[in-house]
């Protein structure tokens, strides 16, 4: 089968031919209908070392059940599903709460999410190790909604924990309006009465941010924090969601957050936010949320079913996946790139 792999350190993704896996006991083989392209894949490909190459990329997955291994009872061949991406041990207290994204044992057990250490989903077939990781898609379109498994789930998780601060009269700033950010704007609008200020690097991105529901869209530059202060009568924003995580965006976050506000660093830009007295306003809380919980994935899908969450998608065939990554890197995508294995180039 065709698969998109990252093969050697410093190389770009390649389309290769690999064997179709077969499901062992408890496992489920999916025929892939859609797989999302995430900036975290670029992070993986930027690391100076990485165990387990070649790596099939892809951690946003939708498919139909092709076949099941022994002892799988809850899904039937033909059923449309999405895959919960984080990987926990599946049996500790944290995992029992559906919070597999924060399983304390995954790392020591050598358990990795697909496409981020374990074989990923950007291929014609994809082996899922346990039926508990499958969430019914129902009548949602897989191509339009596959990105909800990460680009939707991650901001949903980040925003849900900050809901008590997002009261009427509050302000939320979204830095970076790409795959995750454009969904963060919609989630904020659907779940909270907060005023949403979006920041990105060019006018095209700002008009996209306004299109997805931001009340204000600003260039992410040295003036941004002053404008945010002006828009909030000097108070600053109660919540800052940084989907970049680079030195200039974290500086804007520190300068724009209100006292007793929250800075949520979602982007893996590799920069540090200096904290402590004199670095951030009094009472600032800083968060580093990772992905989302299994139950929250059901909630995100339900938000899409209600019509309040719509992923902007650009589609590519498996053969075109390397091009999708070039577009992601160049910052020219609108919303999320989705690979459609069934499409021909």
Question: 261's torsion region: left (phi>0), alpha (psi -120 to 50) or beta?
Answer: beta
**Max CA pair span of the chain:** 62
One residue of 290, 295, 305, 326 binding ligand NAD per CB under 6 A: 290
Tokens of 91: 């049996």
One residue of 145, 171, 177, 225 binding ligand NAD per CB under 6 A: 177
One residue of 30, 133, 172, 328 binding ligand NAD per CB under 6 A: 328
Contact (CB, 8 A) for 243 and 180: yes
Distance CA 56, CA 59 (A): 10
Tokens of 1: 């089968």
Q: CB under 6 A: which stretch of 21-29, 38-46, 133-141, 310-318 binds ligand NAD? A: 38-46
Taking the complex as a whole, how short is the minimal distance between the CB of residue 35 and Zn ion, in angstroms?
11
Does 212 engage in binding with ligand NAD (CB under 6 A)?
A: no
Contact (CB, 8 A) for 85 and 150: yes
Nearer to ligand NAD by Cβ, of 95 and 266: the residue is 266
Taking the complex as a whole, how short is the minimal distance between the CB of residue 328 and ligand NAD, in angstroms?
6
Taking the complex as a whole, how short is the minimal distance between the CB of residue 31 and ligand NAD, in angstroms?
25
Q: CB under 6 A: which stretch of 88-96, 116-124, 266-274, 300-308 binds ligand NAD? A: 266-274
Does 248 engage in binding with ligand NAD (CB under 6 A)?
A: yes
DSSP bridge pairs for 257: 237
User: Using CB under 6 A, which residues numbered 182 to 211 contact ligand NAD?
Assistant: 199-201, 205
User: CA gyration radius for the chain?
Assistant: 20
Residue 230 CB partners (closer than 8 Å, separation 6+): none
**From ligand NAD, Zn ion, none, interface partner of 249 (C-beta below 5 to 8 A by class):** ligand NAD
Contact (CB, 8 A) for 291 and 150: yes
Nearer to ligand NAD by Cβ, of 259 and 332: the residue is 332
Taking the complex as a whole, how short is the minimal distance between the CB of residue 208 and ligand NAD, in angstroms?
8
User: Using CB under 5 A, which residues numbered 141 to 170 contact Zn ion?
Assistant: 150
Residue 70 CB burial class (10 angstroms; 0-12, 13-18, ≥19): exposed
DSSP bridge pairs for 93: none
The span from the first CA to the last CA of the chain, in angstroms, equals 16
Does 262 engage in binding with Zn ion (CB under 5 A)?
A: no
User: Using CB under 6 A, which residues numbered 147 to 176 contact ligand NAD?
Assistant: 150-151, 154, 175-176
Interface ranges with Zn ion (CB under 5 A): 38, 40, 150
């Amino acid at each position: 089968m065709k698969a998109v792999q990252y093969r050697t350190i410093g190389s770009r993704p390649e389309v290769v031919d690999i064997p179709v896996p077969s499901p062992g006991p408890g496992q489920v083989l999916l025929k892939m209908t859609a797989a999302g392209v995430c900036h975290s894949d670029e992070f993986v490909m930027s690391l100076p070392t990485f165990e387990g190459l070649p790596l099939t990329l892809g951690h946003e997955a939708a498919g139909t059940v092709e076949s099941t291994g022994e002892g799988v009872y809850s899904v039937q061949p033909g059923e449309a599903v999405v895959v919960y991406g984080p990987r926990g041990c599946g049996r500790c207290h944290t995992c029992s709460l559906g919070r597999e994204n924060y399983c304390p044992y995954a790392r020591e057990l050598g358990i990795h999410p697909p496409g981020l250490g374990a074989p990923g989903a950007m291929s014609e077939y994809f082996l899922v190790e346990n039926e508990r990781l499958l969430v019914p898609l129902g009548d949602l379109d897989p191509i339009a909604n596959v990105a909800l498994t990460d680009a939707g789930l991650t901001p949903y998780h980040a925003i849900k924990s900050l809901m008590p601060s997002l009261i009427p009269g509050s302000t939320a700033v979204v830095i970076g309006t790409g795959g995750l950010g454009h969904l963060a704007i919609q989630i904020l609008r659907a779940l909270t009465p907060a005023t949403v200020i979006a920041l990105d690097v060019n006018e095209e991105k700002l008009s996209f941010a306004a299109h997805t529901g931001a009340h204000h869209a600003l260039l992410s530059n040295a003036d941004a924090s002053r404008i945010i202060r002006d828009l909030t009568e000097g108070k600053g924003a109660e919540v800052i969601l940084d989907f970049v995580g680079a030195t200039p965006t974290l500086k804007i976050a520190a300068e724009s957050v209100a006292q007793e506000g929250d800075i949520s660093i979602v982007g893996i830009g590799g920069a540090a936010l200096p904290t402590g007295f004199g670095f951030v306003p009094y009472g600032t809380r800083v968060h580093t949320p990772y992905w989302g919980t299994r139950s929250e994935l059901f909630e995100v899908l339900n938000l899409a079913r209600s019509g309040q969450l719509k992923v902007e998608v650009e589609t590519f065939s498996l053969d075109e996946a390397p091009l999708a990554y070039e577009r992601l890197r160049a910052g020219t995508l609108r919303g999320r790139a989705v690979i459609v294995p069934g499409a021909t180039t």
